[in-house]
Each structure stands twice: as C-alpha cells, then as structure tokens.
A and B are shown apart, each in its own frame.
Chain A
C-alpha cells in the first residue's frame, strides 16, 4: 500500500514514520530486570526456593529501580507514579512492585527466620499476595505497551502474554542454571515455555504484518531491514532455537543448561530492547494514491 512507501524520517519535517525513542535502552533495561526478577521470584515461590525468591526480589528491587529512575525525566518525583491506579498500568505496576517487595520480602524473611510455620494461614496469605504481586509485575509493562494505539506493533494482547511468558522463562532458566538438581522438574516446563515464546513471536509478527501501517513497518524493521540481524540471530536463534535444542539434547548437563540460560536471557533482553527500537509512529495521513 502507498503509505508503506513513506520513509522513516528522523526529526525532519518530511511526512513519514518516526521512531519512538522516548522509551529507550534504560527503559528496556528496567523492563527486562523488572520482569526477570518477578519471574524468578514467582517460579521460586512455586518451587519453594527462598534463595531464588530473594534473588528475584533483588533483581527487581535494585536493578529495575535503578534503570527506571535513570530513564525518568524528573527522578525525584517518581513516587508520583503511584497516583493513578484507576487508569494507569504504570501506577498499578508500581503498586505491584511495592506489594512484591513487601509481601515477597516478608515471605522470604519468614522462611529464613522460621518465625511462622510455612503452612500457617498468614504465611499462605502472604505467599498468595506475593505471587499475585509478582504476576502484576510480570505483566503490567506488557499491558501498558498493549494499550498504546500509537506504537501499533505494541498494540496487541500478545504483549502482556509475551511479558509473562518471557518472565517465567527467564525465571525458570535462571533456576535451572543455578540449581542443576531442579532439572528434573524444570526441563519440561522450560521447553514448553520456549515453545510458547516461539508461538507468541510468530503470532506477533503475523498480526503485525496484517495490521496497521505502523505495525507492518515495525515487523519489516525486525525481520527484513534495520534490526533483522539482531532479531533473527539473538531473539530467535540464541533466545529460542538454541535453548530448545540444548535443553532437548542435554538439558540435564549443568554447563549445557547454563549455556541455554545465557541464550534465553540474551534473546529475552534483545527482544525487550528491539521492541522499543523498532517501535514507530505512523504518518498521520497520506495523499499519495
């Protein structure tokens, strides 16, 4: 279609697609660590690993916070982000993070000190709350993106699904690499999750190719032009194909699992970054036939 012929125009006054660069590398880092930490916490919570939960809380609490603050225009006012949970996924997500730190931290503390019995009602409620908070943190960023009609590639229900899937996969792979004994229970989950990711990526690209012009442009950037090499090699290759192969063939070997995890995380991080980099604003109109 003719509107596809329009170029990407940078900051010029020519009509065309414009890259979004408001959410750039620092924000991608924040998203990555936020989801990864919550995912690690969630999987650790299900498996009962206090160290895993702690590691997840630290990743989200420290790394995500650092990078998100470094992205903010007015960092010292960041607390205000919590003000509109009625409308904004960012507010809800921040509440989720607070909840995760609070409930999750309490859970870890109780597990470490043994103050309360692990099957007591309070502990169960805490765990439930922490798990719910972790779910929020895993998905809220994708939800925020999916609401954007501006960046058409993000405007899909698959975004929060991708966030959730990647977060869980990241958590699972981290545990797999750190705790080789868990291979027995985690391997099939890991494989399944990678297949889910593959399905999500394919669906996302398919929907984008047949979606609005901005989505088509992003899909083109990821699969054929500017970012194709990064996307195909890192996101698809290192992030999905490689781990699947490695896990299938020798997933119980610790070094193999470690390599697979590195691949998954590299792919996951690149996905997070490229989804930002390849996001474009559509031209507001076009007159060419």
Chain B
C-alpha cells in the first residue's frame, strides 16, 4: 500500500504492513497490521485477500490496538504479597524474574504430580491455540474450569458431531432463500466469523432477496433486519421447533425422499429404543411395497416405510424411527405448544408452509455445482446459544436439527451445513463410515473425554458425561458437596491461561470466591488484569496478538484453511508466548515428552511423521505454527508470511453432503446405548448419586418435556435472559475504550430491559434501581424499557457483566447475569453437561443502590454522563 511522508491519516503514514490474524475473538478473520517506521502500530484493517472476511473487520477487530497499548497490561511476571484474596483487594504484586516465576509454579505443580495430579485444576481456554488447551493431558488430568463455550456449546457440539460429524453448523448464505434464526445472531451480530458471515448474509438479503425470519424473545439485530420477528418466551425454543415439525409431518410437508435415502429415519426401532438387529448386527427397514421387513441395504427394497407399525421383526414389536418421532409430535401441536411458547399457532403453521415451499421439496429442486448434481434445499433453520442453552440441551439441538431433517436441507446447498473446527490438513475428511450405512458419529468434537470412573477422577464429574462437553459449573456443586459425590481428592492448585472463569461462571460470585479461596496456589497467564487475575499468586504475562505466532483454522463457515498470526512488533514488555510458558513448565515438571506426544495427536502431526514433535525439545509458538501450516498445505512459514493465510472457499466435497451415500442420524440410537451402558457402570460401581442421575434426559428423539426452569416457584414471575452483540461477543472487549465508546451509547446495552407494559405492571419506570433475584442468586441494576422485548422476559446485556477489580479500565454494573443461574445437577443436561442459561426471576424496586455498588465508575455512571447534553465524557 502507498505511504505519504507527510500523511496525517494513520494507514498511509510511512511504515510496513504485516499480514496476520485477529485475536479479538476466538474466530480467525485475517488482518493487515500497519506498523510505522517508528515501530508504532497505528492501524489494523481486514485482509481483502481472505475469501472469508474479505477485508472486513468487526468493531472488536478494529479495536485491537487499544488492547496492545492498554496501560493496564501486565509488563512482567508478578508475585502476590497480600495473602488476603478477594475481588477488589489489592494483590500487592511485586515483580519477579521469569525464572523465579516459573520455578514457583513448577514446584507447586510438581508437588501435585507427586501426590495426586488431580489436585490441579486447569483453565486453559485459548480456542485459537488448542495446543495450550490440551496441556493437562500431558499428565492425564481431565479437570476443567473454563467458562467459555459451555453455555453456547455444551450440547451444541455433541449434537453437531452426531448429525454432521462437525463442530458447528450454519445456514448456507450462498443459496439459501429462507433463513430462520432461532436464538442466534448468525449473519448479523454473532457466531461464526461475524465480520465474514454478516457480509455473506447481507449480500444474500440484498442481492438475492433472501428472506429472514427471527424467532427469539428480544428484538435483536437479526430481528431488526429480518422480514419477520416472532417473539417467543425464553427457554421454549425446543417446543417451538417441535411444533413446526408437528405441522410439517401432519401436513406431509417433508422431504420424504431424503429421509428415506439419506437418514436412518426408516430404520426399525423396538420399544426398548434400540434398532432391530439381526444376528450380524444389521438393521432393518420395512419395505412397504413387499410389506415385509428387509435389511437396510437390501437392494430389493421398493420403498422403505417411514410411517406405520407396530410390526414384529426379530420377535420384537417395532416401528420406523420416523414413526416414533411422529408419535412424539402428536403432543406437539402449535395449539398445545402455544401455552408454553406464546407463539400463535397460525404463525407456526404459516412458517412451516413457507419453509416447505421455499425448500423446493415438491419439485425436488436440484442444483449442479462444479459438475456435481445435488438437491437444492434453500430453506434452513439456524440456531445457537439462546435456543440451545437449556437443561435438555441435547434434545433442544436435536429438535432444531429435526426441522432441517424434514426440510431435507442437512448439508444441502442452501440448507443447514456442518462446520468443522480445524481440518488440520486439506484432504482431511471429517466424515467416516459408521455401522449400518450411517456416518460415524463424532460427539467428542473438543477432544477425548475421560473414561467412566468411580470415585470420580475429575472434579467436574466429567467421568459421567461420556458424550458431553465439560461442565465446569459442576466444580462448584462438587466443591460444596464433596462427600455426596465421593471425590477422594481436593483440588488446591490452579493453572489458568487466557481464561476468566470468575467473570462468567454460572452461580453466585460469593460461592465461587469460596472455591477460589480454597485453592492453595493459583497461577494465571494473561495479558491484562481481569476478575480472575485478581486471585493469582503468580502472574505469567503473555504476548498479545501483535507479538506472537500462531496458525489456526477455527470453525469458519463457507471457507477453510489456516490463518497465520505473526508478530508485527517486538514484545512491548517482558512477556512470553504461551507456548514458551507451557513447554517450559512441562519440562520443569517432567512431562515435556508426554506433552509433545499429546500435541502430535491433538494437532494432527501424526499424519506427517516429519512434522512430529520430538522428545526433549521445547517448541516455540513459531515452530508449532510452522508445522501446522506445513500440515495444512505443505507450505512453509515464508509462504504464510507472504500470504497471511491459506484460506480458500471450502472444498465442495467437504461442504455439501460430504457423507453422500451414507445415512445421517435422524434417530440417535447412541442415546439409548450410552445411557444403558452408563447406568450399568454406575450400578456396578455403586455410585451413590446414580439414583438422581438424569437418565430420562437421554432420548434418541427430542421430546417436548419441560426444562426445570419452568417449574420454579411462582413468585419468580419473569424469565431472565442474557445477550450480547457483535461488539462484545466471543471475546473480552469491555476493557477497551473504543468498545466502551460504542457499547455504552447503544440503548440496548445500558439497562435491564423490560417490555413497557411489563414494567408498568410491576410498578417500574425507566431508571428505577432494582434487585433481581432468582432462586439461586441476585444482581442489581437499573431498568430500561423497549417494545422489542417479550412481555415475560427481563433482558440483561453482557455489557453489564463486569466486576469492580483493581483496574480502572473496566466498568462494573450490578453483577453478572450468570450469578442468577443454577449450578446443580437438576439444571444440567444429564447427557452433555449443558447448563441452563435462562432463569426465573423476580424484581424488587430499591430506593437506592446497595452500599457495595456505590463506588463510582460504573456503567450507569457513564451512561448518565453520556445522557447529559454536550460532547465527550470524563473517565
């Protein structure tokens, strides 16, 4: 790019441009970093050569420089000298050398390894660096204490693993004509590669007239840009989806051809929930032409029945899996579901018809792309955190998939597609054949899970979630009731990196503080002070995104390929890369070789032996990045330094119907098998809490059973729900002055939001100070009203979530919404560990703020200043 010697605009001052990857959220838009001749980073732009974000950056990506130059950044390793720990207590850091810091940490870790490695609780949460995430596997530790991803992904990832054999999922904006968003901001404000996805969706809407419908309790950005907003009561999306399915199945608005050919919907299922199998384990279908059962791959099958039964096959009464779903749907009419969802039945019926019509099923629409002819199904049901984050999470995700199954749009052009996390090498197919013509399900999208054990080997009871994602909130449940869960170890040592669980873990902060106080030693690696660094005994400061190397591909929709991060400048301070810190620690505690082996598997280097990490060597961030790049496309770092990334549009055979010729898991039989296996193991081990384990959560088909949130005591009369928008999601940005500038000027992020009629009924006015209580915790805040809220909802933005800590940069409000959430087993998905993310609340008006919040510097103080006429604000 051009530079002008006397330029006043930053991007054209003399300097150089560095190709790199953004780290302001966990995704990986690539960027261009401008460094002046004086070595100052003065502009960050999107990289136009990347077909994903195509030169664009969201506001977080644009604000990165103010993270780099944040004066609150850790500048060197620190040791705590104040033994008293608390959220707003000065740790009285003293600077120490790296050697002293690493020795301190390593000594504590060694002590644990020698006595009981389970004393260590790791919280290593950098999604862009899975090599750090898997570090504890080097010593067989499966403890887990990070808040990122469990509220949005607890059940989401396992179900995507079952249905798409992928990590995430998104609608296809290239061909979709009817895009339904349920509890997600995909394409507008959030989720996959926001800058990229919103660009694709805007093009689809404006250039192709794609119709959008948003189903959610709040009038979100997605709703504002959609042709239709369907308000829905919080935590009822599963029932809405099932009511859609009810209509589609009753009216015959389904892609029966796809169900028959591409899924296990016709497979015969016995009353015990298992497929009917012959002696060789092969499954059956019912041929409605010959009117008898045949093996699933019998070429003589005329038409495999989807409905009907009960027939007797192999001596057992059975029905097709589809019929079993139809039976469940009998209770899911829009009229029946309206009582819960408040969505008018006419709306459900109309949407079902519109989606069916838009999907082109009647005409069996086809499309030819690159010589391959495929079904064109340009109508799809998209969903994410808001819709899936509930106790019956597995069933919720499954229910949303069912709409797409019925539309025949799973992985079809224009439809709802699986998105992989990190393909690692270009030819890596995420699809493998499973049994009986079905794809091999891959629910463990985030790595291996610990085997069953009693007494438990993990503090968060992951030993009992064979299909799940770690449930870190259960750490608190077990901490408060160790005898009940029979844990024979007490964790007392934490190692935390790029993670802030004290900010966001669900459950009351006070109880989490007890948990932290029970720790004898806490080491934290981070860039800036957070709610969690407050508790550290040692701070190990790490490089930021302008000072380090990385190579990552992380759940990009529509594209694939490694994105490289390279240092743009020398580190500003005495920091180290996370790789240096953790390989050094690994060496000091004697697990370096084991760690390198873990990495060889986790990062896929076993695919190319010349890339394997060798014993005894501490690999730097640069070396690991180089290997990941070589693994992807055989190109060395110099190629990546020149190109910045290897991103291309996703290879079509990996993107559209990558399982062609195989069958998808419409019916998830694993739920029955895994449940029975787990039950049997728990029985054999006489696990004391086995009788309260939620066996009924394991369902091969989604049901309309209510989540327990709906049966809280009636005095809790509103549904509290949490939300974010593009300025503040998937990463920490609230400490950034540029993000504060835009978030706290946005009317939706500056108050606890109510529908005006609801506020009036409760006797509340805007600016009233209130206490919000759930059966589990409480927060404080100030009321705002907007017509864009379901009357039963209280909306709490993430912008109000920070706590007062010893750093000036962060504006506290009245407590994190997640303080209101339960952390118990009753509100946890027995299948996946997914926690409930909605709560029933009641509101009490207060005459004034409670004493502990009257300390100035809050969000509300800032909002009041901005409300005053005039320009600018004080700090």
Contact = CB atoms under 8 A, between A and B. Distances in A.
Interface of A: 8-14, 18-19, 21-22, 24
A22 B745 CA distance: 20
B864 to A, nearest CB: 9
A18 B869 contact: yes
Nearest to B746: A13
A10 B747 contact: no
Contact of A21 (B750, B866, B869): B869
A13 B870 CA distance: 13
A232 B747 CA distance: 34
A11 B746 contact: no
A11 B871 contact: yes
Contacts of B750: 12
B761 interface: no
B746 A10 contact: no
Contacts of A8: 869
Contacts, number: 35
B346 interface: no
A149 to B, nearest CB: 20
Interface residues of B, number: 13
B873 interface: yes
Contacts of A22: 871
Contacts of B569: none
Contact of B873 (A11, A13, A14, A19): A11
Contacts of A21: 869-871
Contact of B745 (A12, A18, A19): A12
Max chain B C-beta neighbours (<10 A), residue from A9, A13, A19, A21: A13
Nearest to B747: A14
A10 B742 contact: no
A11 B866 contact: yes
Interface string B857-875: 0000000001111111100
Contacts of A14: 747
Given A13-B742, A14-B747, A19 B869 contact: yes
Contacts of B745: 11-13
A10 B867 contact: yes
B870 A19 contact: yes
Contacts of A12: 745-747, 750, 866-867
Contacts of B868: 10-11
26 contacts: A8-B869, A9-B867, A10-B867, A10-B868, A10-B869, A10-B870, A11-B745, A11-B866, A11-B868, A11-B869, A11-B870, A11-B872, A11-B873, A12-B745, A12-B746, A12-B747, A12-B866, A13-B742, A14-B747, A18-B869, A19-B869, A19-B870, A21-B869, A21-B870, A22-B871, A24-B870
A19 B869 CA distance: 6
A9 B869 CA distance: 8
A196 to B, nearest CB: 31
Contacts of A18: 869
A11 B747 CA distance: 11
Interface string B302-343: 000000000000000000000000000000000000000000
B528 to A, nearest CB: 26
A162 to B, nearest CB: 23
Nearest to B866: A11
Nearest to B743: A13
A10 B871 contact: no
Nearest to A10: B867
Contacts of B746: 12-13
B219 to A, nearest CB: 14
6 smallest beta-carbon distances between A and B, as pairs: A19-B869, A21-B870, A10-B867, A13-B745, A11-B866, A12-B745
B704 to A, nearest CB: 39
Interface in B491-519: none
Contacts of B873: 11
A5 to B, nearest CB: 13
A12 B741 CA distance: 10
Contacts of A9: 867
A277 to B, nearest CB: 8
A8 B871 CA distance: 14
A224 to B, nearest CB: 18
Most buried by B among A12, A14, A18, A22: A12
Given A14-B747, A18-B869, 8 more contacts: A10-B868, A11-B745, A11-B866, A11-B871, A12-B750, A13-B742, A21-B871, A22-B871
A14 B871 CA distance: 15
B497 to A, nearest CB: 36
Nearest to A22: B871
Contacts of B870: 10-11, 19, 21, 24
A147 to B, nearest CB: 22
B229 to A, nearest CB: 16
A2 B514 CA distance: 54
Nearest to B745: A13
A100 B747 CA distance: 51
Interface string B732-772: 00000000001001110010000000000000000000000
Interface hub of A10, A11, A21, A22 (most chain B Cβ within 10 A): A11
A14 B748 CA distance: 10
B31 to A, nearest CB: 25
A271 to B, nearest CB: 19
A13 B747 CA distance: 7
Nearest to A20: B869
Contacts of A10: 866-870
B727 to A, nearest CB: 11
A206 B429 CA distance: 76
A8 B745 CA distance: 14
Nearest to B868: A10
A22 B121 CA distance: 56
A71 to B, nearest CB: 14
A263 to B, nearest CB: 29
Most buried by A among B742, B747, B869, B871: B869
A148 B685 CA distance: 84
A14 B750 CA distance: 12
